[in-house]
Chain A
Amino acid sequence: MSAIEKFEEILENRHQYAKDWKQRTGGKVTGWLCTYVPVELLYAAGMLPVRILGTHEVQDVTDRYLFPTVCPFSRDALAQGLKGRYDYLDGLTMSRTCSHVQGTFDNWRNYVPIPFSHYIWLPCHRESPRAVPCLRGELLDLKQAIEKFTGVTVSDEDLDKAIELYNTNRRLMRQVYEFRKSDDLPITGAEAMEMVVASQLMDVVEHNKLLEDLLAELPNRKLDREAGLRLMMIGSEMDDIVFVRMLEELGCTVVIDEHCTGSRYFWDDVIPEEDRLGAIARRYITRWPCPAVSSEFNDRGDRIMQHAKDWDTQGVLLYQQKFCDPHEFDIPSLAQNFKELDIPTLVLEFDVTIPFGQFRTRIEAFLEMAELEVF
């Protein structure tokens, strides 16, 4: 089985994977809701950090918890909890980012029994020199809370090992992304997405191994179709593989992304320091920012434009979960930036209640529009 097939399989059977892991290792599984949760710290404490994601199905269980204009992702995630699909979790963590997913966390804590939960009060003033020490304090709280819960002390060596493993994971994924710069693409956007989502569900040691396999396969791999337009995907949470497959079937390939189930999650490393928690804190403050945290748009904007150039982007899909105010804010400026470079953009708002056909028409029209010389 190829590495990609393996990722796909784990995505399909994510709950089984986590349950097996638990059985196999005797460790605890902790769910996380936002990429600002320091996975290396959870892993150092012997936990399997698992990202909570939805299933993109229409559901009717969250309306009594989340009011109608909470983003569909946050609803979908809570629905999984309410339906008991994550009943194997030992813990749930969340980092302060946006109010929508805050609702998911608060309600989960209140209405779905969970042995351990912890909230990380992420200082969001990234530009302030005071942010790193503050987050360090939060991480210390988290560490102590976990130690109390598991009864195991997290040593410096544990932290070093976890930092190293996750740094490796990030480096390997960046290497895979390097391959996507080529004209002769070896991997589709949907496949790359499967890889990143799997990294958020799997034991990092196992994921690293699969990444090594994938990197060995890539030089000889080819797409079974024309790559078409080179597309960049920018936006909020996105793990809808079915959608990305549909998108790519219409005549394009996603070559680079900027979202929290993609590059934004893994792009930056922890730079080792004597003070381990301080080093982790610095990574999360200075990392590629999510608009729910960043206030200086230009910072995020500049990084995005650089990505777009480096990966030779010909078209951009700017999408957001419906009602996602953090991302909505940046969209007009981003669209303007791309317009200046003559790169066409398409804005899509996601919500499971929008029939696929409507997206399809828009994407097709966009591709028609983006094709350099139409007919």
Chain B
Amino acid sequence: MITAGVDMGAQSVKVVILGDGKVLARSLVPTGFEPLEAAKTALDEAIKSAGVSRDDVKRVVATGAGRKSATFADSSLTEVTADAKGVNWLQPSVRTIVDIGAEEARGISCDAQGKVLDFAKNDKCAAGSGAFVESMARALEIKVPEMIELSLKSTKDAPINATCAVFAESEVVSLIHSKVEKADIAHAVHDAIASRVASMVRRIPVENDVALIGGVANNAAIVDVMKKHLEVDVVIPENPQFVSALGAALSAAA
């Protein structure tokens, strides 16, 4: 059976097409102003690159912040469940999942079957999300990939206390003024967000194996500091940004 999972994220829509236990295709389209259009486009793209037709796709399950508006989907699933399903399929040994997306971070604890045991989420504040990283990169006047690279070269700790992304931006600016190395500032930024996320994730039991997913899992600098803050080793499943979509596709197949 062929199914599709559509993750309607705050920043981008991710689609995974699954056929008989194999990922046939993925696609990613920025959410933009018209999430529904973006989702349809993403779905079409994925179907096309899977080399199948829309009718071949038996069930479509939507997840993500915009899931309720997914008129094209057969049903919907919260990100929490989707994450657990997706990770469990990829790496059944995982008991703790950390998902950092553009505007939200989640910690999920699950069992060997991928059943959610407990979860925690951050509140309505950008601290501890991909958006925080992006706005700090803007303050440093560099691109995110560059900031990651710099961060990994850092040798000294620098403090960023503010949780508010806007105030943190001015802390970054004053660090620049006091001639702190850009690499160390970049590191401080990643450290700050990892600390917020770790603090939230700790509300659930953190047990091995711990997986980091979501778009921000692509950020090597975050991965690095997350390990330090959670005091555990972290595994990154392949294509971490697509795990929620995968979970949705799996639930469609079930």
| Contact of A353 with B by CB under 8 A | yes
Least CB distance from A85 to B in Å reads 16
| Contact of A250 with B by CB under 8 A | no
Choose the segment among B58-66, B145-153, B159-167 that binds chain A (4+ C-beta atoms closer than 8 Å).
B159-167
Provide the residues of chain A in CB contact with B198, threshold 8 Å: 60
Is there an interface contact between A64 and B203, defined as CB atoms closer than 8 Å?
Answer: yes
Contact of A357 among B174, B192, B195, B204 (CB under 8 A): B174
A60 in contact with B170 given A353-B162, A355-B161 (CB within 8 Å): no
Contact of A355 among B171, B195, B203, B229 (CB under 8 A): B171
Among B161, B174, B229, max chain A CB count under 10 A is at B161
A61 in contact with B162 given A355-B167, A357-B174 (CB within 8 Å): no
Q: Give A345-361 as 1s and 0s: 1 = Cβ < 8 Å from B's Cβ atoms.
A: 00000001111111000
Provide the residues of chain A in CB contact with B203, threshold 8 Å: 63-64
Is there an interface contact between B161 and A63, defined as CB atoms closer than 8 Å?
Answer: no
Provide the residues of chain B in CB contact with A354, threshold 8 Å: 161-162
Count chain A residues whose beta carbon lies closer than 8 angstroms to a beta carbon of B.
12
Least CB distance from A356 to B in Å reads 8
Closest Cβ neighbor of A68 among chain B residues: B123
Least CB distance from A74 to B in Å reads 16
Provide the residues of chain B in CB contact with A352, threshold 8 Å: 161
Contact of A63 among B159, B163, B199 (CB under 8 A): B199
Is there an interface contact between A61 and B202, defined as CB atoms closer than 8 Å?
Answer: yes
Provide the residues of chain A in CB contact with B200, threshold 8 Å: 63
A352 CA / B161 CA spacing, docked (Å)? 7
A358 CA / B168 CA spacing, docked (Å)? 12
Provide the residues of chain A in CB contact with B170, threshold 8 Å: 355, 357
A356 CA / B178 CA spacing, docked (Å)? 14
A355 CA / B167 CA spacing, docked (Å)? 8
A64 CA / B230 CA spacing, docked (Å)? 13
Is there an interface contact between A353 and B163, defined as CB atoms closer than 8 Å?
Answer: yes
| Contact of A58 with B by CB under 8 A | yes
A356 CA / B167 CA spacing, docked (Å)? 11
Is there an interface contact between A58 and B202, defined as CB atoms closer than 8 Å?
Answer: no
A113 CA / B199 CA spacing, docked (Å)? 22
A63 in contact with B202 given A58-B195, A357-B170 (CB within 8 Å): yes
Least CB distance from B7 to A in Å reads 27
Contact of B162 among A60, A63, A355 (CB under 8 A): A355
A161 CA / B171 CA spacing, docked (Å)? 52
Provide the residues of chain B in CB contact with A63, threshold 8 Å: 199-200, 202-203
A60 in contact with B167 given A354-B161, A357-B174 (CB within 8 Å): no
| Contact of B196 with A by CB under 8 A | yes
A352 CA / B163 CA spacing, docked (Å)? 10
Provide the residues of chain A in CB contact with B196, threshold 8 Å: 60
A174 CA / B13 CA spacing, docked (Å)? 67
Least CB distance from B80 to A in Å reads 18
Is there an interface contact between A60 and B199, defined as CB atoms closer than 8 Å?
Answer: yes
Closest Cβ neighbor of B127 among chain A residues: A353
Closest Cβ neighbor of B194 among chain A residues: A60
A221 CA / B192 CA spacing, docked (Å)? 43
Contact of B161 among A58, A60, A61, A64 (CB under 8 A): A58
Closest Cβ neighbor of A56 among chain B residues: B161
Provide the residues of chain B in CB contact with A64, threshold 8 Å: 202-204
Closest Cβ neighbor of A356 among chain B residues: B161
A58 in contact with B229 given A63-B200, A63-B202, A355-B170 (CB within 8 Å): no
Provide the residues of chain B in CB contact with A60, threshold 8 Å: 195-196, 198-199, 202, 229
Which B residues are closer than 8 A to A by beta carbons? 159, 161-163, 167, 170-171, 174, 192, 195-196, 198-200, 202-204, 229
**A-B residue pairs in contact (CB < 8 Å), sample of 21:** A58-B159, A58-B192, A58-B195, A60-B196, A60-B198, A60-B199, A60-B229, A61-B199, A63-B199, A63-B202, A63-B203, A64-B202, A64-B203, A352-B161, A353-B161, A353-B163, A354-B161, A355-B162, A355-B167, A355-B170, A355-B171
Which A residues are closer than 8 A to B by beta carbons? 58, 60-61, 63-64, 352-358
> 5 closest pairs, A vs B, by CB?
A60-B199, A63-B199, A64-B202, A64-B203, A60-B195
